[in-house]
Chain A
């Protein structure tokens, strides 16, 4: 049961971003957060220019960018909880051999 759950979690982590190299996204979590906020301001500014509604979109998109930034950092930092599937397999095998020796 718990194994299934673990497996699901690992699979889900891989679905979010491919490969272990995606862990490098963690290194840039800070700048992703900042740039989400800036991108929010930019999109809001453009929408305001189009609809002539300064500063409604400017501010609301900034808030959206802030929310999105936190959400992104949260999703990224969740990757810290997942074991890469190879490592997990190895540690499981190690555990099994230990159990065998005990019995």
Chain B
């Protein structure tokens, strides 16, 4: 495919979403479908596992899921003061869902788009399979977390307590207008940093995968393939192993920071 397209087109083609609608109401169908399917996968596996729970000696998969649950529960206990039954399930959902969405990055970059193009019969059909390389996904998740942060801020501190934070927070009572703007900026920067960090890491990771894939596509012609093809395999393997760490770390950071921000919202003294 790369031979026909040229490198720039190849990369652009892979980083363009399959969309419906236009302007503000553009829906990135591939992002929505893939993330919904992964969500459904979590629900399906959890429901199946829930039916076959063993109390004695758990099987391999149950053991694995229990270790993830323990890991998340420990993190919530460390980072979250007080008690709120919503936090641990939220953190678990975020961790697993983000990890699965990031994991789509490790599927060979040309495989799913090629299959999609064969199924639809359109050789130029767009498909971007990693939902977290779409800023809409990461911003949607972080805005949801932000809405929860605001809700608990108002619920725990009360309307006056929350307003007081806006009025007197960084510079004291003599700079009220500056304080209001500053606190606004501070609050908006929370979801922004959550979303941009995840998006940036995943987008860059995907781009490196594409660049490595281009080695085989553009340089491995004729006898040169003997040199370039093994190099591509080696580089791909190396980046894959490294990226496996990155996707886990990013999912973990998203989860922990969600817990920390919600913990700050629950902290009355702050």
Contacts and interface: CB of A to CB of B under 8 A. Distances in A.
Interface of A: 15-22, 24-25, 27-28, 31-32, 34-36, 38-40, 42-43, 47, 61, 64-65, 68-69, 71-72
Contacts of A17: 260, 263-264
Given A25-B257, A72-B186, 18 more contacts: A15-B267, A17-B260, A18-B260, A19-B78, A19-B81, A19-B263, A24-B256, A24-B260, A25-B260, A28-B193, A28-B257, A31-B193, A31-B196, A32-B189, A35-B190, A39-B186, A43-B181, A68-B185
Nearest to B82: A18
Contact of B192 (A27, A35, A61): A35
User: Which interface residue of B170, B181, B259 has the most chain A CB atoms within 10 A?
Assistant: B181
B181 A28 contact: no
Contact of B189 (A19, A25, A38): A38
Contacts, number: 90
A15 B182 CA distance: 20
Nearest to B75: A21
B148 interface: no
Contact of B263 (A18, A27, A42, A72): A18
Interface size class, chain B: 20 to 34
Nearest to B79: A21
Interface of B: 75, 78-81, 170, 178, 181-182, 184-186, 188-190, 192-193, 196-197, 200, 253, 256-257, 259-260, 263-264, 267, 269-270
In the A-B complex, list the 5 residue pairs whose CB atoms are closest, starting with the nearest. A21-B79, A35-B193, A35-B192, A39-B189, A39-B188
B73 to A, nearest CB: 13
